[in-house]
Amino acid sequence: MGIRKRILLVAYNFPPLISPQSLRWFYLCRELSRGGYLIDVLTIRMPTAFRDMVDDVSKEITIYRTFPGPFYYLTFKYSQESSKSEKSGMSVNHSTFWKILSGIHFKTYKILNNLFIPDIYSEWLPFAIKIGLNLTKTKKYDLIISSSEPRVCHLIGYFLKKKAGVPWIADYGDPWIYPVPISPEFKCKKKIIERIERNILKRVDAISVTSEGIKKLYLERYPSLNEERIHVVTQGFDPVMFSQVKKEMSSKFRIVYCGSFYKNLRDPMAFFKAIKEMDKENIEVIIAGRINEFADILKKEGLCEKIKYRGFLDHKESLALQKSATVLLHIGNFTDVQVPGKIYEYFGAERPILCIKGIDRDLSAELVKRYNKGIMADNKKEDITEGIMKLYELWQKGLLDASFNLDAVEDLTWRKRAEDISNIIKTL
């Protein structure tokens, strides 16, 4: 066996802080470690009450945790009780004091997020660089990888690359600036962020992105960027992790959605209207994840009886819920830049998918169609109703599963994605 290459991964999002980018690098680190790489992870320290996936991280991986900064330290510290209430499936009735405190927190976030460049997560920068520089002094790394979101990870990668003088891969789960306005940012701030990113891209040795859409966006936005330096490494799923969880049992036609909703990017309102008008008693809908202001909309529209919101689940709880679905619901983005990573996870659950297209050329819908994993519908109440009833009738006749190819797609597993990353490393 040859000399094992040592990688320093800079990842703000890493277990127990769960997000698509966190799960991406949890699985990629595990597979790269199995492939012979030595991996150190520089990430944030969270309160001990947060444990999701921590015990599943490979013992071969060394994790260095540091202070996230004062704002998010307090956010994580005082969010524990709320998180536990949401996981129990109970409605959260906060006191007036808590609502006032939450309002102050949100306003503070908005102010700080506009003041910091590129955003509030940059409060982690001095603490991460201090530990990162110490690591580059005491260990000989062959490669640095930075994982964005959040953007600050690429800033840290930039400084550490300069200090260590080793190849650097910048991994993008999301573009730094979306082509659609999903969060308000001042025009002058966007120009500053774009200038910073332009300098980062000059120094980085390779770029990995999660979709062809992001690659296309960056080649158009930065014409001087060499196409050969950008590699598409999509999200994936892990068949072993799915095999380790037990699905819930239900006699009803169960529609399950796991993921996030965003008003200007991934909007479920047409689906809500379709469900509101349905009178089938044996259809149940379960939603889990960060659905932001749409949790209040469910109450306002009187949908809490028809749609059960379980809050944010642990990763394995989410996988078990997906396996228990009669049909998995996927809602595409209003842009062709990104493919929500949940669609790959849905493939691992081996259940039929109702894919609601965000735009005409929806990359998620193309995947579902290519592998015959379900049916597509436009994001309109009538089309969604028609799609649900088609799947419901197949289920009643006992033909649902036989109508689609529910076998696992080996080419979309995290093992294959780790091979993609390894191939990039070999070219540097």
pLDDT at 104: 86
- What's 413's DSSP letter? B
pLDDT at 264: 77
pLDDT at 87: 43
pLDDT at 71: 95
Question: What's the pTM?
Answer: 0.92
What is the pairing mode between strands 6-10 and 143-148? parallel
List, as own/partner pairs, every contact residues 35-38 make where C-beta atoms lie below 8 angstroms and the sequence separation is at least 24, other chains included: 35/418, 35/419, 35/422, 36/1, 36/4, 36/5, 37/4, 37/5, 37/6, 37/7, 37/422, 38/4, 38/5, 38/6, 38/7
pLDDT at 92: 42
pLDDT at 298: 87
* 407 contact partners, CB below 8 Å, separation of at least 6: 350
Residue type, 67: F
Residue type, 381: K
pLDDT at 85: 39
Low-confidence ranges of the chain (pLDDT < 70): 1-2, 80-95, 180-185
Domains and CATH numbers, the chain: 6-236+414-427 (3.40.50.2000), 239-411 (3.40.50.2000)
pLDDT at 182: 61
What is the rounded CA–CA span in Å between residue 305 and residue 285? Answer: 9
pLDDT at 186: 72
Over the stretch 142-194, which tens digit does the pLDDT of each residue have?
Answer: 999 999 999 999 999 999 999 999 999 999 999 998 876 666 667 788 899 99
pLDDT at 260: 87
Tell me phi and psi for residue 121, to 5 degrees: -65, -15
